[in-house]
């Protein structure tokens, strides 16, 4: 391949990964074309993009970006996954797919990068167990609204009890 073509491919790869801060490296070797298609479709439904890259080209394309440490010292064929809502949802999607060994027997996470820190394969599995951003927001909203709802109930409770007693006395006088 000529140097000109390599430079064009490197520039294309750089533009595709522009703005990406969190990514995972996965192994897709050994998957049939049907399994590969199914896997890519399942990941795309979750907003995850997959691209098989040549290590040296990826390393050159990612120089000076947050993804640079991800491609240092790689060997073998790798695919890079990025996208999703956040790194947790990305890790969950990859780990879920890797867990279905019947469908994708050789698919597995190899490494990752999160906020500039490298992740090992076991750390990727640990990150997949964290709550996603959406789950964290719902927990926070519940914690914020919980005391307010409890306070409103305590304020309305005695008034409601008083109103029910007045109603009971009023209906009791009508029946006599």
Reported as a single tens digit per residue, the pLDDT across 19-59 is 899 999 999 988 999 999 999 999 999 999 999 988 888 88
Per-residue pLDDT, 38: 94
Which residues contact residue 104 at a Cβ distance below 8 angstroms, ignoring those fewer than 6 apart? 31, 35, 38, 39, 97, 98
Residues 11 and 91 in one domain: yes
On whether both 35 and 67 belong to a single domain, the answer is yes
pLDDT tens sequence across 105-117: 899 999 999 988 8
Judge if 165 and 88 occupy the same domain.
Answer: no
**Would you say 15 and 46 are in contact if contact means Cβ atoms under 8 Å apart?**
no
Q: Find, among 96, 84, 74, the residue nearest to 22 by Cα.
A: 84
Average pLDDT of every residue of the chain? 87
Q: Are residues 29 and 75 in the same domain?
A: yes
Q: Report residue 173's pLDDT band, with 50, 70 and 90 as the boundaries.
A: low
Specify whether 78 is located in the same domain as 159: no
pLDDT score at 73: 76
Distance CA 28, CA 108 (A): 7
Residues 97, 156: one domain?
A: no
Please, what's the b/e burial string for 33-46 (b: 16 or more CB within 10 A of its CB; e: otherwise)? eebbeebbebbeeb
Cβ contacts of residue 149 below 8 Å, gap of 6+?
A: none
Are 13 and 57 in contact by the 8 Å Cβ rule? The answer is yes
């Amino acid at each position: 391949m000529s140097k000109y073509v390599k430079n064009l491919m490197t520039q294309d790869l750089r533009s595709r990964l522009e703005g990406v801060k969190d990514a995972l490296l996965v192994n897709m070797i050994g998957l049939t074309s049907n399994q590969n298609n199914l896997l890519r479709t399942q990941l795309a439904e979750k907003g995850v993009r997959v691209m098989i890259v040549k290590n040296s080209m990826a390393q050159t394309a990612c120089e000076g970006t947050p993804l640079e440490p991800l491609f240092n010292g790689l060997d073998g064929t790798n695919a890079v996954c990025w996208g999703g809502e956040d790194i947790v949802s990305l890790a969950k999607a990859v780990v879920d797919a890797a867990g279905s060994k019947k469908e994708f027997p050789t698919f597995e996470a190899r490494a990752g990068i999160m906020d500039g820190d490298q992740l090992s394969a076991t750390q990727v599995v640990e990150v997949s167990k964290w709550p996603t951003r959406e789950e964290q927001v719902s927990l926070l909203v519940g914690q914020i609204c919980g005391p307010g709802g409890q306070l409103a109930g305590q304020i309305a409770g005695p008034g409601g009890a008083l109103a029910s007693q007045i109603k009971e006395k009023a209906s009791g006088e009508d029946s006599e």
